[in-house]
Structure 1
């Protein structure tokens, strides 16, 4: 009996050792396989630091060796570096299927908001590994993970101390010139922005993601998002944009990831929470601008108070789910893009092209929010919660168009400004013609100002100007020092609005635009004359061609010869 028990014990020991050996071998084999793939910086050092520009380039170079369909990407005519010489490194992952949907994913635009930059490396690795075949078949991706390349390497533990950061710190918000790159899409002052505009013309994305981290309310959502709400975007396309995000919200919630529209709590005078409201509808934001290029736009904001590790994982999960939705709805997105362009063309066929001058926030729904009462340390990081209170609140997270007007046939830009404005207009993808190509049977319209406000403080280093008024056929009463002549009219830049990107042309060139070139100071020589300039002003730098008045038809107005000196 004893002998049998010893035999059984010996056999059990052998089996156990064999099992342990097999398990150990499997574990080592798994580790070896993982080591065969490139590791991001935070993976190599247990989340002690985020990636630099060189780190991302090294990771991507190693990943390219695994799949030749991952290539470096440089748009035609785009700058390769920032103004300081930092590389603008992007990569393109081809789809495995035919006629894919093209998606551009931007990260690191604010260099202190690093989670998207790090998550994108993992997402591309997973795609190359074959983890999401439905995405890989239907979607072609371009990404620039270190968009603010200046800031990506300027890491300092003192930056953004209110969020849990890796020990080595994160970068600053702005670029080296103090420009917030997420307010630069229209004026295109930075090399980074001109790179992105070139990407639009070259890659022609159907959707654009911009990955950020929040700064505001203690709301408890792991991700907040926003569709492209820029003033003047095609409404049905914007509705599909919002549907995409609410669909993904419904998918993520049962998986333990609460998400909602980006915004902050609204307080009354007694400091009580009364609503949730969104923030911006300006096309100068990377995520809003796509709607004027007939693309979907998605702002992704990870919750600033979650750990660095959790924020990377939240980005990974959410971006993958967005890509899944696009893959599943590829044909619908393409149809709606085509229809949006057709609707703009039809307005011109019907001789009634109209656009709003502004938007207002509107009520989208009532939603149940969890309001966090935080416990914070000296740096503002949440180290605990006193309580969470559920509140059903009206959510003002949509925008409606107001002050809709009939747009002119196009704009003439003074030839004196041609060298300054042509590169910007063409970078946006607009067709720019010589002034002699303007329709000669249309009236020249002069802008009659009713109000001019030059900002007292700078924004983005610019004293912005807000102009109100109307276009009229009559020359303004105040005499100009220089007249518009037939010669200057013919040498002017003519930007017709009856073109696919005519909406964008309107918001760039109309003096009333809240985000146009007049607002951003490109024509301050006329619009911001100081008290010490007592001579006659120059001629108006922009004229409209064709009536913008609602009670005029485009073919009912004829140019009167006396308006122009021959």
Structure 2
């Protein structure tokens, strides 16, 4: 009887073991089908129900009214970010479906989650020191807007979601400005999890070539020396080496120099509006896969899966080095006297790589119009050594202040600073302070909106030291805190994706006071009589400029704008500095 019982126990154990090894999810990417939103969530709920070391969590809101989910995979049933970080584990955050017409990351992550949980090929060992957090579908509104005609440049899958979200925003231009509920939620997720490594999965329809997958690596020059060294000498080459061992080779994202094929590839500069650029604000190693739209969907999913496996393995194998490099990078950043705010590629420094592409022609006959066009001839593959430029030089840098002061009325900016965990100290009393302020001298803006904003370019400024009254509740922001990079990038007006560039301070660009020529005459006359030196200056300008001397309004403007009548607040950037 005991032998029979023992046999039953063994058989049950074997049965459970075999069940744990069997895939639970029925993915159909081989049939050019990517799951609907409900199917994605149902699959993750199934994994959640079967494995106690994984959980599906509602983690904020989206513009479509549905919650943003994270799927957390750990070695044990512990899912609290603070406790997990305290254990010294690395956090790998993977985001999918930011552009729902580019869905291979969704399928690849579903398969990856299923495989690591059932310990395929011993993958579960990576969870000993690494927690994997997956955002299954980020742009839920776009994913629900599913159809056959959303992605004109690709044949498969047969149905996909739409690029814009429920507010018709491109969410991969929204990380810095945070107009969407989606972006506010992911800002909170970053603040909550503080990921060490971040991946966002995409598809590109750029040049045609033989690769199924390309990569935008973390931008090394954005990082302090310790992290730049780690990226160039270890992380980037190791990931490429791991991909070489698999079925799908990896190539840098094909961003041609001067837009000329085979002229050399430039490392993409991902500013904070993009997911990977936003990740770098927290010294997180953020990157994007860009699968190739002209390849079959199954190949795109498989190559994306292969990359996720390689990245997860690297993160686990180098967990201690990743955490140590981020810590050292933060320490180095806090000691920096200056900070770069613009870059330019250094074309004197490059490496070479073998590029497998196709010959191009200006005389390919278009099958629709019957007319010649530029294109790639897939019947003529080529392999050529080309240059890869991944070094950028600093064009402009600023001296890092010790404090910024932000008046409390700028609530939209304050909200975003809070979302990202920025430490701010409200003033207890009304206080007159000597500060350095920037004036916006020049800027340009497009005629058409860009993702809902008229973003400012070509910004030039000048600085003045002034005495300004601040009031109880205005915010003193210590700059040298752990998230210093975010503070500098968002509050320096000339930084690439600052709040100023994204129109959060546009009301300073309007002049509030004005004068009428008739009404101002008596006051102007009195001012000239009371200030003989300025009166002499005006007379000299009349003599030097005959057109000015004949222009009544121009002379009154000169008096108004060069005396105490001029508004101190006009074009004065409201975020002041203390050095």
| TM-score interval, normalised by the smaller of the two chains | 0.7 to 0.9
Residue 287 of structure 1: aligned partner: 276
Q: 5 Å matches for 1:493-504?
A: 493-504=475-486
Which of 170, 176, 184 lines up with 2:166 in the alignment? 176
Answering whether residue 186 of structure 2 is matched by residue 196 of structure 1, we say yes
Answering whether residue 132 of structure 2 is matched by residue 141 of structure 1, we say yes
1:49 and 1:378, CA in 2 relative to 1: closer, same or farther beyond 3 A?
A: farther
Residue 370 of structure 1: aligned partner: 356
CA contact (8 A) 2:438 2:462 kept: yes
Q: CA RMSD in A?
A: 3.2
1:542 and 1:530, CA in 2 relative to 1: closer, same or farther beyond 3 A?
A: closer
Q: 5 Å matches for 1:70-89?
A: 70-75=54-59, 79=60, 81-89=61-69
Provide the C-alpha distance between the structure 1 equivalents of 2:256 and 2:140, rounded to a whole number of angstroms. 33
Residue 378 of structure 2: aligned partner: 385
Which of 308, 321, 333 lines up with 1:344 in the alignment? 333
CA contact (8 A) 1:238 1:291 kept: no
Q: 5 Å matches for 1:417-436?
A: 417=410, 419-435=411-427
Provide the C-alpha distance between the structure 2 equivalents of 1:405 and 1:195, rounded to a whole number of angstroms. 31
CA contact (8 A) 1:151 1:175 kept: yes
Provide the C-alpha distance between the structure 2 equivalents of 1:392 and 1:529, rounded to a whole number of angstroms. 57
Q: 5 Å matches for 1:92-131?
A: 92-96=72-76, 99-131=88-120
1:337-395 superposed Cα distances (whole Å, 9 cap, x missing partner): 11011112334xxxxx2100111223441212122248997699x99812112222221
1:439 and 1:256, CA in 2 relative to 1: closer, same or farther beyond 3 A?
A: farther
1:202 and 1:533, CA in 2 relative to 1: closer, same or farther beyond 3 A?
A: farther
Which of 214, 217, 240 lines up with 2:230 in the alignment? 240
Provide the C-alpha distance between the structure 2 equivalents of 1:236 and 1:68, rounded to a whole number of angstroms. 38
TM-aligned CA deviation for residue 112 of structure 1:
0.4
- Indicate the SS of the match to 1:415: coil
Unaligned runs of 5+ in 1: 1-28, 348-352, 476-483, 548-566
Residue 16 of structure 1: aligned partner: none
1:383 and 1:409, CA in 2 relative to 1: closer, same or farther beyond 3 A?
A: closer
CA contact (8 A) 1:42 1:49 kept: yes
Residue 13 of structure 1: aligned partner: none
1:37-68 superposed Cα distances (whole Å, 9 cap, x missing partner): 4324526xx52421122111110111112211
Which of 192, 199, 203 lines up with 1:213 in the alignment? 203
Aligned positions, number: 492
1:506 and 1:310, CA in 2 relative to 1: closer, same or farther beyond 3 A?
A: same
Which of 402, 410, 415 lines up with 2:408 in the alignment? 415
CA contact (8 A) 2:56 2:70 kept: yes
- Indicate the SS of the match to 1:359: strand
TM-aligned CA deviation for residue 130 of structure 1:
1.0
CA contact (8 A) 2:341 2:398 kept: yes
CA contact (8 A) 1:411 1:544 kept: yes
Which of 269, 275, 284 lines up with 2:264 in the alignment? 275
- Indicate the SS of the match to 1:209: strand
1:433-479 superposed Cα distances (whole Å, 9 cap, x missing partner): 22459999x8401213332222222111111123634453345xxxx
TM-aligned CA deviation for residue 219 of structure 1:
2.6
CA contact (8 A) 2:435 2:468 kept: no
- Indicate the SS of the match to 1:446: strand
TM-aligned CA deviation for residue 538 of structure 1:
4.5
1:415 and 1:447, CA in 2 relative to 1: closer, same or farther beyond 3 A?
A: same
Residue 6 of structure 2: aligned partner: none
1:486-545 superposed Cα distances (whole Å, 9 cap, x missing partner): 3x3443222221211112111111111220100001111113669999995846352432
Provide the C-alpha distance between the structure 1 equivalents of 2:129 and 2:431, rounded to a whole number of angstroms. 43
CA contact (8 A) 1:174 1:181 kept: yes
- Indicate the SS of the match to 2:65: coil
TM-aligned CA deviation for residue 170 of structure 1:
0.7
1:377 and 1:113, CA in 2 relative to 1: closer, same or farther beyond 3 A?
A: farther
Which of 428, 449, 452 lines up with 2:440 in the alignment? 449
Provide the C-alpha distance between the structure 2 equivalents of 1:235 and 1:182, rounded to a whole number of angstroms. 28
Unaligned runs of 5+ in 2: 1-14, 77-83, 517-565
Provide the C-alpha distance between the structure 1 equivalents of 2:280 and 2:19, rounded to a whole number of angstroms. 43
1:272 and 1:340, CA in 2 relative to 1: closer, same or farther beyond 3 A?
A: closer
Q: 5 Å matches for 1:322-361?
A: 322-347=311-336, 353-361=337-345
1:219-251 superposed Cα distances (whole Å, 9 cap, x missing partner): 322221122328753243144234323212122
Residue 559 of structure 1: aligned partner: none
TM-aligned CA deviation for residue 331 of structure 1:
0.8
CA contact (8 A) 2:439 2:462 kept: yes
TM-aligned CA deviation for residue 399 of structure 1:
3.0
CA contact (8 A) 2:511 2:567 kept: no
1:331 and 1:489, CA in 2 relative to 1: closer, same or farther beyond 3 A?
A: same
1:173 and 1:221, CA in 2 relative to 1: closer, same or farther beyond 3 A?
A: same
1:259-291 superposed Cα distances (whole Å, 9 cap, x missing partner): 1221323358xx663222233331111112222
